[in-house]
Amino acid sequence: MGQVTSEIRSRHKKFIEKQHLFFVATAPLSENGHINLSPKGMDSFQVLSPNKVAYLDFISSGNETSAHTLENGRITFMFCSFEDPPQILRLYGLGKVILPNMREWDMISNYFELTSSVRQIIVADIHRVQTSCGFGVPLFDYNGQRDIHKKWADKLGNKKLEKYMIENNLVSVDGLPTHLGKHH
């Protein structure tokens, strides 16, 4: 049923590439801090090597992943199949944020099609890959990606997007600084 490995194998990569949705989870060190679990789509995930992944992180109402990776690095990704065959795949690792003004940006951003609403790239070194059956995951039909985020970002434009990030993305819900907060 399930299997644990220390790297992303070719069959794992193929499974990841077929999924239209993934989830990312992070948590602060504080026992009273809020665990973050976010759904992600928009063809934003890339396997860079057997032990490294990255995803485009778009401007949104919060920036918990940035705050948690800055504080402790812990990150988990989950992919699950909503069609046959059923399967769940989790990637455990240590994440970090790459901002457009950092030297790694040019190298990592080449793996993606960038849009104006990308605020950062999350990169993670993976040390554990775990599969499980996914028998309890329901079947769904995929109807496509939403275009609402792109339209929203295009309508705001770069200056208003920057203002939005300053107003909404510099600290976590628990008051932890984000990478953006450190650079403003």
Question: Where do the domains of the chain lie?
Answer: 3-182
Residues whose CB is less than 8 angstroms from the CB of residue 119 and which lie 6 or more positions away in sequence, other chains included: 57, 58, 59, 63, 165, 169, 180
Give dist(CA 3, CA 136) in Å, integer.
Answer: 17
Residue 30 buriedness (CB in 10 A; 0-12 / 13-18 / 19+) = exposed
- Going by the DSSP 8-state scheme, the letter that residue 33 receives in this structure is S
| Mean pLDDT for the stretch of residues 74-80 | 98
pLDDT category at 153 given cuts 50, 70, 90 is very high
What is the per-residue pLDDT across 86-114, written as a single tens digit (0 to 9) for each?
Answer: 999 999 999 999 999 999 999 999 999 99
Quickly list DSSP for 11-30.
Answer: HHHHHHHH-S-EEEEE--SS
What's the confidence (pLDDT) of residue 1?
Answer: 59
Instruction: Give the pLDDT confidence score for residue 183 in this predicted structure.
Output: 67
pLDDT over 70 at 172, yes or no: yes
Of 24-28, 70-74, 114-118, the range with the lowest mean pLDDT is 114-118
- CATH code for the structural domain at 3-182: 2.30.110.10
The residue type found at 98 is I
* pTM of the predicted protein model: 0.94
The chain-wide mean pLDDT, for the chain, equals 94
3-state SS assignment for residue 142: coil
| Each residue's pLDDT tens digit, 9-19 | 999 999 999 99
- 166 is written with which tokens? 């300053």
List the one residue out of 97, 98, 101, 80 whose CA is nearest residue 89. Answer: 80
Beta bridge pairs of residue 36: 26
Structure tokens at 144: 């496509």
pLDDT of 184 higher than 70: no
